[in-house]
Amino acid sequence: MKSAFTTQTRTGLLFSLVLVMSLVSNAQAQQADDTEEVPASQQAASINEGKLPLDELRSFADVFNHIRLSYVEEIDDKTLLENAIRGMLSGLDPHSSYLDAKSFDDLQVSTSGEFGGLGLEVGLENGYVKVISPIDDTPAEKAGIESGDLIIQLDNKPVKGMSLNEAVKLMRGKKGSDIELTIVREGIRQPFDVTVTRDIIKVVSVRSKTLEEGFGYVRIAQFQSKTGSEFRKAIEKLKTKDTPMKGLVVDLRNNPGGILQSSVEVADTLLEEGLIVYTEGRLNDSHSEYSATPNDLTDGAPVVVLINGGSASASEIVAGALQDHHRAVIMGTDSFGKGSVQTVVPLSEKHAIKLTTARYFTPNGRSIQAQGIVPDIVVERAKIETIKTRERITEADLQGHLSSTNGDESDREKRQDKAKDGLFNSDNQLYEALNLLKGLNILGLNEKATQVANKPEHQEVPKAL
């Protein structure tokens, strides 16, 4: 037994006892002061206002020393204290955590858009790793990982009991190496295995294309430091002098969020004025408001925003702001519901903590946390098949029919063939969004035409009497 008490152990034990006993002494002093100034019935309440609880500190000291002296393997004080910090943070909520040197570096790199791994945004749920969303064009997406999947094993190692950082470390690795994920998915009875090959993840934040003449599409995969400026460039590219923008689809499906300021810039691009988002927390500096500046880059063109269960955090800020201002129609399914603000507090050059410090609220005061954004129009992801109808004879089939004065009679067949291809079969949600934009554009044109038709050609100037 004597060999266990080396000089280093005695020194470490002395340091630990001094540290803990100083906390206990402070707690006793506070308790004594409280006893003199505060009635006994209010002392419990004062503890909740920041006073150190004496009994719990004694328990901490007892547990700390039992582990140091009795655990099967010797553990240094530094490791024990770091583990205590991890435990404090992990017990708060799924998004607060202790960042060691590698985790801190990974966080800084991920916001720039390039990092190693599988391409998953994950959190913890009931002790298991939950997929918030796979990132576009990454090994995870190509392997068929879906938002809402629960990962219960990593290379046959149970996830239950791991911290989120420990699970993430197992999923990281060299490019080209494989990892086997055991997944539980809603609607499937038995867990199943998926092998994913690690790669360098390069996230392209913004992609854009023209769906049809005048109708643009912008996909935002993740909110990074340059997303706001890239979003503006994408819209400028979609707009031309010859083809004004008739409508825009902003795709935020499976977008796990990212940098708050970037989400504000995206919403600002589509708004002329008004509040975009505000935050509230316990500290004064956690209260902030972000408002739009003039100049809607689309010139008021109709907008549809697509969301789903993988749309989280910054994505929900954009969707909530545009919904509250009636600037866009939100379509798809309920979003994830992450409405909390995480602040990264550096402890040193290599260590930091990520701490939840506030909640997001939409302009109308709705909390996103654990509620999410409910779409204006619910459209589930589905496979759509055309029902073949019996061939019918039309006027065009009758011998000797009169020709149309509208031009080529084959235009009708071309429109029908076009509808059967592309979005109709591959992405029903985007197909519905495009159809809605077309309808809004038609109604807008009709409204303008009515206003012009009803406008008097000549207005009589009042005569001075």
Active-site positions read 313, 324, 338
* 82 vs 80: CA distance, rounded Å: 5
End-to-end CA distance of the chain: 116
Q: Which of 96, 84, 86, 34 is nearest to 59 (CA)?
A: 84
